[in-house]
Amino acid sequence: MGDPRYELAMDLFQQAYVLQMQGDLETAADLYRKSIELFPTAEAYTFLGWTYSFQGRLEDAIEQCKNAILIDPQYGNPYNDIGAYLIQQGKFEEAEPWLQKAISSKRYDAYHFPWYNMGRVYVSREMFNRARECFEKSLSFEPRYRLAVDALKQLRSLVQ
């Protein structure tokens, strides 16, 4: 039998995720924080950060992702998320090392995200061949990833 605090924390996490997807960001953030109080996990910190990003609170989002990394440095999501938040802020160079860590992380289910984001970094530097390679690598992990498909099309029209 598992730790009852962990079980309750995971229940709160699941409830928070549903509410976040429904757009109830305040309640979702509250539930993520309660989950963390009971049993801190890298996932809860990362998803709290993601909720903050939906609220435009990018610095708070980055802070929560750093908390996630302290708990589980092998978990790829917070590295990619920090990179994406830095890109949103126009800090492309600062984003690159975070995205590299996401790409090389051992525990990650969505490698197409950091490859796509790395492509965005290379586009910002007008390094179009490298950007193309990144978008193609993203699509090798998730062939239907619409953002990478569109980015690749746009890039091809740009360099012809």
Where along the chain do its domains lie? 1-95, 110-160
How confident is the model at residue 64, as a pLDDT?
98
Residue 129: predicted pLDDT: 95
Going by C-alpha positions, the residue among 74, 73, 77, 78 that lies closest to residue 63 is: 78
Task: Report the alpha-carbon distance of residue 155 to residue 127 in Å, rounded.
Answer: 11
Q: What is the mean pLDDT of the chain?
A: 96
Please tell me the predicted confidence (pLDDT) of residue 2: 77
Residues 6+ apart with CB under 8 A from 59: none
Whether 158 shows a pLDDT value over 90: the answer reads no
pLDDT for residue 32 is more than 70: yes
Predicted confidence at residue 76, as pLDDT, reads: 96
CA distance 27 to 16: 7
Single-letter amino acid, residue 139: L
pTM attached to this predicted model: 0.93
* CA gap 46, 114 in Å, rounded: 15
| Torsions phi, psi for 75 (to 5 deg) | -80, 115
The per-residue pLDDT for range 126-138, each reduced to its tens digit, is 999 999 999 999 9
| Count of other CB atoms within 10 angstroms of residue 141 | 16
Identify which of 128, 85, 129, 137 has the alpha carbon closest to the alpha carbon of residue 110: 137
- Tell me the DSSP string of 54-98: HTT-HHHHHHHHHHHHHH-TTB-HHHHHHHHHHHHTT-HHHHHHH
CATH architecture of the domain formed by 1-95: Alpha Horseshoe (1.25)
Label residue 159 by pLDDT band (50, 70, 90): confident
